[in-house]
Amino acid sequence: MSRRRNGKGGTSVKSRLTAAAAILGSLVGLGLALAGFFVGEALKEARSAERFVTVRGFAERNVESDLVIWPITFRDTGNDLVELQKVVDSHKAEVRAFLAAAGFEPEEISEMPPQVTDLKAQTYGDGQKRDYRYIATATITLRTSDVRAAKKAMEDSGKLVLRGIVLAEQDYARSTEFLFTGLNEIKPVMIAEATKNAREAAEQFARDSGARVGSIRRASQGLFTIEDRDKGSPD
């Protein structure tokens, strides 16, 4: 009797242990599965947070020039350097008088020493026979903030030709410049406009891809350029 009870008791204890082990194993397995689910979701959220898109903002506005640099270049020719220098000085005085009559101050006018070319001293030539040996090129430069007056003077520059002054064609080194010096005053507003434009572009990109836009991760100012509106109206 005692052994049967022990035998039944042993069987009952073993069954309970087996059931407990099975339940424990189920709980452990479920815990691992849930842990794996939570870790997986965390990784997905982390990867989602790491995603970003790079966009560029754009802003522009029309501004009027507030500074003009106008180089007036002319050429004279001759065979005697002394006489040629006298002609150059006379024409310089004519140009200065023309600018003074247009209302410009002496401090707005500057000049460079003339450049003289000796055709006989050149080792190459075009083979043409000329009546002169020397070519003198002189430049008087007007630098002014009175853009309107400068444009009017340019329109009237034909008066210099009537006085016998041969105006030279402008080249890269001697070309009229219309400049804008107030960039720092409008820069903050333009940066804000460009930032807003970039944000709108990012939001549109996010909508098209089924995502959403968070905060800005990194921003750079970019580049400011000032260009002529067109070749005919560089001011």
Check pLDDT > 90 for residue 30: no
Q: What percent of the chain has pLDDT over 70?
A: 73
pLDDT at 8: 47
Cβ-in-10-Å burial (0-12, 13-18, 19+) of 203 comes to middle
Q: Which of 50-59, 140-149, 199-208 has the lowest mean pLDDT?
A: 50-59
Residue 33 has pLDDT above 60, yes or no: no
**Cut 0.85: pTM above it:** no
Q: 128 vs 102, which has greater pLDDT?
A: 102
Q: For the structural domain made of 67-179, what CATH number should be given? A: 3.30.70.2970
List strand residue ranges (DSSP E) for 58-161, in order. 67-78, 109-118, 134-144
Q: How far from chain centre, in Å, is Cα 103?
A: 35
Please tell me the predicted confidence (pLDDT) of residue 18.
Answer: 53
149-175 pLDDT per residue, tens: 999 999 999 999 999 999 998 776 678
Q: How far is CA 44 from CA 7, 39, 49, 51, 206, in A?
A: 55, 9, 9, 11, 18
Domain coordinates in residue numbering, the chain: 67-179
Higher pLDDT, 18 or 99: 99
pLDDT at 216: 74
